[in-house]
Structure 1
Amino acid sequence: MKKTGISISHATVWISSIVLGLLSSVPQIAQHDFNVAEAIVNAALTASFAVLMWYFNIYMIARRKDKARKQSISYSELLSSLLFGLIVMFGLAYIQQLILSHINFGPVMLMVEVRGILINLVFFMFLHLLQQNYENQQVNMELERIKSDNLSAQYELLKQQINPHFLFNSLNTLKAMVESGDEEAVDFILKLSNFYRFTLESRKLDLIHVSEEMEILNAYLFLQKARFDGGFTFNSSLSDETMRTLVPPFTLQLLVENCIKHNVVSLERPLHIRIYEEGDKIVVENQVQQKVGEEHSLGVGLENIDLRYHHLLNKHIDIINDKKIFQVKLPLIQ
């Protein structure tokens, strides 16, 4: 019976049915004119009815196993179960009349039908609640899986910030600075150290202040300016109020990294990157000067940022690209 999504053993079905049969004979035992034969027949027929209705209701649940689940009672199934129960109980009452012909069929028929309806309703509601509980557990498991996938996506996003390619370029730049006796080599090492420290400190947080995110971004920009030597400019005009708002860690840094990664950065064609506020959004903007022969970006970084904002605020980021200016607008988080 596990294929229905719930687990009801055959022993449970039979033992509970026998117990119901015995309980149905208790009123007869209390009577002065107690008849053993009548009690046995009554108990046997009630137990038989209970067994049949157990399996019929389980069958009804199994039929909708592959259909869309509903969190409310199916009235069509309830009516089908009650109708089937009435027919079965009528047949069993008729058998009882054949065995015990001295009993008045009318009153007995009414009594057993009422008893059958009550037993059937109990079985139906019990199985429905059991199935609903099972389905709720499945939904909770699915939600946990989605939550786990979301955390994995955030972890993958953070891993992108410390990828070997970035470290390789940084160390090559540091090597060139040391060989040329550049006085900023020590500052470069400190900024590189700070960047990785920010990475380790922020990876467990859902949100940090924009001011903290700007520290991460400034450390990253120092490393890139040492590498590209004036190939791009950066300007931020965020107000103190906006600096006190929140942002998912490495959001601004990743957006600026995308600007540098996907566009030409050179002294002849310097890339201009701006961060400013517009209404209730933070805007990261750059002019489009796409690298020649670059493959179309999959947008994995932007998708991860959008998923995080949707998870935190139930909002999406705005991406605007008119082939001249590329903008990403982030909702403010108070």
Structure 2
Amino acid sequence: MNTKLDKSDYIILTVFYLISITLNIFDYLDQDATLLEYLVDIPMFVITSLSGVLLFMYFIIPRFLLKKKNYILFALYGLLVITSIGIIERVVGFSTGNNDWSKFPKLGNLILYAIFNGSDSIGLALGILITKKFYEGQTQISKIKEQQKENELKLLRSQINPHFLFNNLNTLDSLIDSNPEKAKEYINKLSLIYRYLIKTKDAEVMELSSEIELAKNYIFLIKTRFGKDYEFTIEENMALVDKFIPTGALQSLLENVVKHNKSNGTKPIKTTIQINEGWLMITNTKSKVIAQQESFGTGLKNLETRYQLLSDEKIQILNTDTKFEVFIPIMKLQGT
């Protein structure tokens, strides 16, 4: 759940506090409150209530409930904020009402009153916001999942796309006569790719080491088919154990290189895959010759959508006249 407040949230809070101020004014009229109580108590209620709401939405809920899932600290910090707000409102209200301080509640009663009053001050506003955020989050997740499923169906359909098979069969046809051993290796790599795609079609994420192996097999197909038009380098600058990326992400990025770049015959398209702590970066040189290769992936948009469900990190893209870079976050599953 995204707890950061947007424009609509502030509009809701504004309406809420306008209604609350109106009700407080009528209540004070019934009590024949002094002018000081109007000028101090009502603004103080808005300030303390809004402060409590912001503390919950920007600090307590995201840090202790969503990130750490530490329910004890969440409860303690929440109780501390509610009690503090209640005490402030009680002290201010007692002062503006010209009350006898000898009748001020003792510590035990003060804390009980503070908890009740603080909960009343921020509870309704906070509840409205949390409910709104929850349903917004559920709606967004439903839309993303729907798009995800649609993309997965497109991916599965395109994996058996006759154009992809046709291109590979053409490559095999030429290899069988010219280089039978290479043809056998090509068939083996192609079968490994299809076996992996079928095996992982329902997996959201896969181990980075497995994705690297898929990428190596896919690179073999590219280099066999296009010869020296493409050059690939893989730099593993960290251990791949317990590291994950979305299934097929690297293959999709490699496919993107071939789809959008074609060598001019004298200068190859150079692609580097760097695996660093927290990020996988794929960089390729660009050409002015547009390739017209059949795509059987769902591309960057699909990858960006998947990361919305899988990680708080986002894909980063750097596109210049000479190179195209994509940074994708490397994930660690909870408990690993």
Superposition deviation, residue 232 in structure 1: 1.1
User: Aligned partners of 2:309, 2:138: CA distance in 1, in Å?
Assistant: 18
2:208–2:245: 8 Å Cα contact kept in structure 1? yes
2:148–2:305: 8 Å Cα contact kept in structure 1? no
Q: Percent identity?
A: 26
Deviations 1:57-87 (A, max 9, x none): xxxxxxxxxxx999x989969x99xx9xxxx
**Distance change in 2, residues 1:143/1:281 (3 Å):** closer
2:155–2:298: 8 Å Cα contact kept in structure 1? no
Q: Give the structure-2-normalised TM-score.
A: 0.54
**Distance change in 2, residues 1:209/1:142 (3 Å):** same
* Higher mean C-alpha displacement, 301-310 vs 261-270: 261-270
1:304 aligns with 2:278: no
Superposition deviation, residue 216 in structure 1: 1.0
**Distance change in 2, residues 1:300/1:147 (3 Å):** closer
Any runs of at least 4 consecutive aligned residues in structure 1 with deviations exceeding 6 A, and if so which? 72-75, 134-141
Task: Give the match's secondary structure for 1:227.
Answer: helix
> Unpaired runs of 5+ in structure 2?
1-10, 27-130
Aligned twin of 2:205: 207
Aligned twin of 1:326: 324
**Distance change in 2, residues 1:176/1:258 (3 Å):** same
Q: Report the residue type matching 2:143 in the other structure.
A: I
Q: Report the residue type matching 2:172 in the other structure.
A: L
Structure 2 counterparts to residues 69-218 of structure 1, below 5 A: 142=139, 145-156=142-153, 158-159=155-156, 162-164=159-161, 165-218=163-216
1:320–1:326: 8 Å Cα contact kept in structure 2? yes
User: Aligned partners of 2:321, 2:224: CA distance in 1, in Å?
Assistant: 28
1:158–1:203: 8 Å Cα contact kept in structure 2? no
Superposition deviation, residue 194 in structure 1: 0.8
Larger Rg: 1
Superposition deviation, residue 172 in structure 1: 1.0
- Tell me how many residue pairs correspond in the alignment: 224
User: Aligned partners of 2:245, 2:291: CA distance in 1, in Å?
Assistant: 34
Q: Give the structure-1-normalised TM-score.
A: 0.55
1:282–1:331: 8 Å Cα contact kept in structure 2? yes
User: Aligned partners of 2:254, 2:147: CA distance in 1, in Å?
Assistant: 23
User: Aligned partners of 1:267, 1:233: CA distance in 2, in Å?
Assistant: 13
Superposition deviation, residue 229 in structure 1: 1.7
1:280 aligns with 2:275: no
1:211–1:244: 8 Å Cα contact kept in structure 2? no
Deviations 1:141-198 (A, max 9, x none): 7356325314314414633761522222111111111233532111111111111111
- Specify which structure has the bigger relative contact order, considering alpha-carbon pairs within 8 angstroms and separated by 6 or more residues: 2
User: Aligned partners of 1:281, 1:166: CA distance in 2, in Å?
Assistant: 30
**Distance change in 2, residues 1:73/1:267 (3 Å):** closer
User: Aligned partners of 1:320, 1:136: CA distance in 2, in Å?
Assistant: 32
2:144–2:309: 8 Å Cα contact kept in structure 1? no
Aligned twin of 2:50: none
Q: Report the residue type matching 1:142 in the other structure.
A: T
**Distance change in 2, residues 1:176/1:332 (3 Å):** same
Structure 2 counterparts to residues 35-74 of structure 1, below 5 A: none
* Counterpart among 243, 247, 250 of residue 249 in structure 1: 247
Measured on the aligned residues, the alpha-carbon RMSD in Å equals: 4.2
**Distance change in 2, residues 1:157/1:275 (3 Å):** farther
User: Aligned partners of 1:275, 1:225: CA distance in 2, in Å?
Assistant: 16
**Distance change in 2, residues 1:187/1:309 (3 Å):** same
